[in-house]
Structure 1
Amino acid sequence: MTASHDPAAAPFPCARFIKEIGRGPNGARALSAEDTFALYRAMLDARVSDVELGAILIAYRLKGESADELAAMLAAAQASFEPVHVQDAAFRPVSIPSYNGARKQPNLVPLLALLLAREGVPVLVHGVEQDPGRVTSAEIFSALSLAPSTSHDAIEDTLAERRVAFAPIDVLAPRIARLLSMRGVLGVRNSTHTLVKILQPFAPAGLRLVNYTHPPYRDSLAQLFRDHPDAALGGALLARGTEGEAVADTRRQVQVDWLLDGVCDTLIDAERSSTDAPPVALPESRDAATTAAWTDAVLRGEVPVPDTVARQVATIVQIARIAC
């Protein structure tokens, strides 16, 4: 599989692929890794017609992606954009995908990123700037005077200067952003929403925080990283997310797994929530301004860091540290 791209190339006919993946959840068959790579690369290059693109996205929505298909899609996705380069002698960079935002609970992704940056870890948060009905990390960062990066150079410059940057997906990876935006046309998420959560934005590879919402996805993601070394470069911390975000749930400790070189190690065991546990000090409301003010208070030491978030920070710092 090669990584060359030519957006001006001839249209890419997809009928033979749709015939395989479009037979429904019981009759559909997975494509080979080579076919999946070629198909997704053509989708990224806008060589697939709108009708065929919609059919493919819905077919995968119903069928689901095998680990081999997901690995091939990821390879095509990562070849479609310029990676971010970070020069740091003490820590490997960390990427945090942020594509869901807060719906019921406050969004603590900016707090996590800023706590890591304070420890010296370069952190790239990538995601969407707005999502109707949700509070995005971009909105909270903006309230904390950290504006979204507007170019690839700005991403790298901000990481060098402030240790933390927010990269809108349309700035980091415009071709991927176009497929992500199909949700607004079709009304449902597609394979790209999974890919952006496992994307490796750095070269050399950095540490990724990867989260899942439904327990069955834990096994499929673990299989992906175990069976496909290229997909696991840099390693991934895998845990159940908080409303789809890769920050620790303040209500309970979830299991955290570390996947690298085909091995899955459990670093933190899950704990049951207890009604006797003292309440966690959190923002009074989930809006961006209130969450930003609370985040700032935590960083100043006026409010304690939630225990699960503090444990997450310590775990990431330990893994990201470069041995001298």
Structure 2
Amino acid sequence: MTDSAAPTFTCARYIKEIGRGPHGARALSHDDAYALYEAMLDGRVPELELGAVLLAYRVKGETSAELAAMLSAAHRSFEPLHVQDGREHARPVSIPSYNGARKTPNLVPLLSLLLAREGVPVLVHGVTDDPGRVTSAEIFTELGIPHAASHDEIEDSLASRRLAFAPITVLAPKLARLLALRRRMGVRNSTHTLVKLLQPFAEPGLRLVNYTHPQYRESLTGLFSEHPDAASGGALLARGTEGEAVADTRRQVQVDWFHAGRAETLISPERSQPDALPVELPEALDAASTARWTESVLRGDVPVPSAVARQVEAIADVVRRPA
């Protein structure tokens, strides 16, 4: 929907560059990518052109430079959060949760609660529902952890319990509007990548960034390596579990830490061992079953999956180092 009070953004020349298909399309300059995405966020692009831009990038893909420009525009579209350091001056952690789970349990709430127990302020942001998937939002509800309804509530929850869940509609409503177009158009768009890259804190905070397809590892590595501002506060990059930024209990994946213009491998990949003991997981994947299992892990009745325990240890170590 276009904001009738704002001037319409003419984008034919941008579509001409990015809309030539996978072999003929050309990347936009940083300034052009920024201007275009800013106009999209502000609702100044007419619906016909907006659909063309979204589909063009769906086919072409974003370069690291285009992602950096779009991310800069995204960050300027919402108010950053102010968060007090946790125990031992632990910097806050941002965990995006936009995919949910359908084949394996969603362990994002467990990861966030384990980090909060270590004194690390943790913001989980994402969608509240996704048909056919179990979202972190639904599990938090079963755990009795409310969804924040305003920026003040996000900051209050981070201060009081070191944990907050923020729907993207609350954290960054302009991004939420573009994200919601998936259901109307039937395919994801650039915003689905950008929300997983957000640095929502005013102070330096660590982000957990995950990818599903190998080509995204290359583009995200390029983003953080070639555009240091995009990695402000630090970012942990790893292959996700069904698109969620929590360790995969079936195998140990590589985890890279991008910070201060350099990359450091914190956890090396390991192949699963055929004689390894089975990991005790929820018997069912629904939100209620996952929540009850999460509570049993927090009580110590069930062991923390080793891959998740290792992830918690790595994150807790990083956020206590100087930014």
Question: Does TM-score exceed 0.5, indicating one fold?
Answer: yes
Cα distance, 1:21 vs. partner? 0.3
Cα distance, 1:322 vs. partner? 4.9
Cα distance, 1:8 vs. partner? 3.1
Q: Deviations over 1:177-232 (max 9, x none)?
A: 00000101110000000000011100112000000001221121011001111101
Q: How does 1:29-48 map to 2 (within 5 A)?
A: 29-48=26-45
Equivalence for 2:302: 303
Q: 1:80 to 1:307 in 2, by over 3 A?
A: same
Equivalence for 2:136: 137
Equivalence for 1:51: 48
Q: Deviations over 1:33-71 (max 9, x none)?
A: 000000000000000000000000000000000100000
Q: Deviations over 1:81-133 (max 9, x none)?
A: 00111012611000000000011100000000000000000000000000000
Equivalence for 1:212: 211
- What 5-or-longer segments of structure 1 have no aligned partner? 1-5
Equivalence for 1:320: 319
Instruction: Give the secondary structure class of the aligned counterpart of 2:295.
Output: helix
1:266 is matched by which residue type in structure 2? T
1:179 aligns with 2:178: yes
RMSD: 1.2
User: Runs of 4 or more off by more than 6 Å in structure 1?
Assistant: none
1:62 aligns with 2:39: no
- Equivalenced residues, count: 319
2-structure distance, mates of 1:285, 1:91: 34
1-structure distance, mates of 2:310, 2:191: 30
2-structure distance, mates of 1:248, 1:29: 36
Cα distance, 1:316 vs. partner? 0.2
Q: Is the 8 A contact 1:212 1:244 kept in 2?
A: yes
1:252 is matched by which residue type in structure 2? R
TM-score normalised according to structure 1 size? 0.97
1-structure distance, mates of 2:217, 2:263: 12
Identity of matched residues, % = 71
Q: How does 1:71-150 map to 2 (within 5 A)?
A: 71-88=68-85, 90-150=89-149
2:60 is matched by which residue type in structure 1? K
Equivalence for 2:152: 153
Equivalence for 2:261: 262
2:130 is matched by which residue type in structure 1? D
Equivalence for 1:3: none
Cα distance, 1:9 vs. partner? 2.3
2:7 is matched by which residue type in structure 1? A
Equivalence for 1:238: 237
Cα distance, 1:7 vs. partner? 8.1
1-structure distance, mates of 2:199, 2:285: 29
2-structure distance, mates of 1:322, 1:162: 22
1-structure distance, mates of 2:198, 2:65: 16
Task: Please point out which of 11, 15, 36 is paired with 1:14.
Answer: 11
1-structure distance, mates of 2:273, 2:181: 41
TM-score normalised according to structure 2 size? 0.97
Q: How does 1:266-281 map to 2 (within 5 A)?
A: 266-281=265-280
